[in-house]
Amino acid sequence: MSGMIKNTIKMLTSAILAGVIMLAVFPVDVHGDDLIPDNPDDGIITVNEQQTDLLNEKHDNWPSINAAAYILYDATSGSILLGKDYETQKEPASMTKIMTILLALERLSMSETVTINAAMAKEIKNLEKDYVRLGLQEGEEITVKDLVYASVLKSANDCCIALGMHMAGTEAEFCKIMNEKAEELGCRNTHFTSCFGYAKPDNLTTAYDLSLILNEAVTNTEYSKIAKTYTYKISATNKYSSTRELTNANRFISTADFKYDHYAGGKTGYTDSAGYTLCAAAKKDNRVLIGVLFNSGSSVIRYRDMIKLFDYGYTAFTTVPITEAEFTPLINDTRNQMVRLMSETNLYISEMKTALTSHVTTTSSRAQLGSSNKIDLSKTTIDSQAEEQTLEIPLCKVYSDKTYVVGKLVVKIEQKAGVIEINPKKKTHLTDVRRVLITFAILSGMILLIIVIMLIFRANIIKRRRNESTRRANML
């Protein structure tokens, strides 16, 4: 009997300890899966993927463009609508001047006077004979405004040299500034070695990079106004006695055949090695499109192709603004659900804010079918053990066959102050029940142990008495 009792004690003790340990360490987490359907949508297009996503779609009426490389860039949303070899380095020719003018408009006053010094005159003298120039002379005093207009309307190379050297001392130093600005704008494959577009094999950029440069110029400076000017007069200077009248050489402005109502500025270019180049911006209904063509078929073809790109961009694609107001009801519902889930915990929402893209571009046919908004909680988990956590939840615009991420809901969750525990466990609705069960298990174990000990003690007394009776009987 003693052996059976001992085995019983061991079994009871093990069971009690196991139950106590399990109840003490089992964690309770709150998961975002409780907030969402079991089957989230597939094929979500992230913000980064949206830049090139439309290039993957089939376009039955894609315009035929006669150029070695080109791009149609929606500057409002940052999406590339059409393109070919748009990240391949090419010689930009006089399109280089856009960067020089951009820097001049940012850094100089239009009324500032530039004096053509000996170093400038030397560089101007070294220009090829067939390169366009205004005719600046050493010692001539001329305003920044005159130099800028001559650089854009007449494509005067000597004026760009004067502006660049006025800003940096030498053309080489100015090219460093040009390249720094290009990098600042997000250009990935640009390396300027000329301030005006000299035919150098290492003066290179891409259709994509140039679209960023032109967009900056027409959006944040007076470049658009300058480029759309039909005529401009340069008053007499100390070295030039008569007025010089400039006529815009860009056919979007100077001819009726290529007049484009939505034209917002650009620049042409040509060298034997670069061929005919053209970049242009268009603005319609507060939507900016940028087109860039490298090595076009001819001087005339580049204008026709650019109009094709703009017309297709404005008809085949739609760009819609994204506002916080349209997500407000969904955000409020999400907050309420989270608060309910965390009501039995020590967690609370300390901050909630949104970060949205300004616009999204999709095909016009898709947009016509309508869209809805949603908050994608499929990968969201609230960790009930964390002292502090930040959730970034995608905000989406949903079309019939495609979902675009257009921003994120940033939620910061923290522990409430004033709770001190040796081994912190976040309280849930099971905390009090667990504590009662643990106490009950311990008390039950102690009672069972006392009963078993009493049984052993009683058994030993009975055995001792029986042995005593047997011993006395044997003595008699």
The residues, any chain, with a CB within 8 Å of residue 172's CB and separated by 6 or more, are none
Closest CA to 343 of 38, 34, 36: 34
- Per-residue pLDDT at 21: 32
* Residue 392 CA: distances (Å) to CA of 149, 379, 433: 48, 10, 34
Average pLDDT, the chain: 87
With b for 16 or more beta-carbon neighbours within 10 A and e for fewer, the 317-329 pattern comes to: bbbbebeeeebee
How many Cβ atoms from other residues are within 10 Å of residue 395's Cβ?
24
* DSSP summary character for residue 46: P
Please name the amino acid found at residue 249. Answer: A
- Per-residue pLDDT at 17: 38
- Give the chain's domains with CATH numbers: 29-35+323-415 (3.10.129), 65-317 (3.40.710.10)
Measured in whole angstroms, the distance separating CA 299 from the mean position of its chain's CA atoms is 37
Virtual torsion, Cα 6, 12, 15, 21, nearest 10 deg: -100
Q: Pairing between strand 403-415 and 44-45?
A: parallel
Please check whether residue 71 is in contact with residue 291, taking contact to mean a CB–CB distance below 8 angstroms: yes
- Per-residue pLDDT at 468: 66
Per-residue pLDDT reduced to its tens digit, 305-341: 999 999 999 999 999 999 999 999 999 999 999 999 9
Please check whether residue 204 is in contact with residue 99, taking contact to mean a CB–CB distance below 8 angstroms: no
Closest CA to 227 of 136, 113, 95: 95
- Per-residue pLDDT at 447: 79
Q: Give the span between the Cα atoms of 414 and 400, in whole angstroms.
A: 38
- Per-residue pLDDT at 460: 76
DSSP per-residue letters across 151-195: IIII--HHHHHHHHHHHHSSHHHHHHHHHHHHHHTT-SS-B---S
Q: Give the span between the Cα atoms of 328 and 245, in whole angstroms.
A: 57
Q: Give the span between the Cα atoms of 1 and 9, in whole angstroms.
A: 12
SS3 content of the chain, % helix, strand, coil (to 5): 45, 25, 35
| Cα maximum dimension of the chain | 158
Low-confidence ranges of the chain (pLDDT < 70): 1-42, 418-437, 467-476
Beta bridge partners of 260: none
- Per-residue pLDDT at 197: 96
Q: Give the span between the Cα atoms of 336 and 330, in whole angstroms.
A: 10
With b for 16 or more beta-carbon neighbours within 10 A and e for fewer, the 275-292 pattern comes to: bbbbbbbbbeeebbbbbb
Burial label for 273, CB within 10 Å (0-12, 13-18, 19+), is exposed
Please check whether residue 253 is in contact with residue 224, taking contact to mean a CB–CB distance below 8 angstroms: no
Q: Is the pTM of this model over 0.75?
A: yes
Per-residue pLDDT reduced to its tens digit, 190-227: 999 999 999 999 999 999 999 999 999 999 999 999 99
- Per-residue pLDDT at 318: 97
Q: Per the structure block, which two tokens stand in for 239?
A: 């070295």
- Per-residue pLDDT at 35: 39
Between helix 97-107 and helix 207-220 the angle, nearest 10°, is 30
Virtual torsion, Cα 18, 21, 22, 27, nearest 10 deg: -170
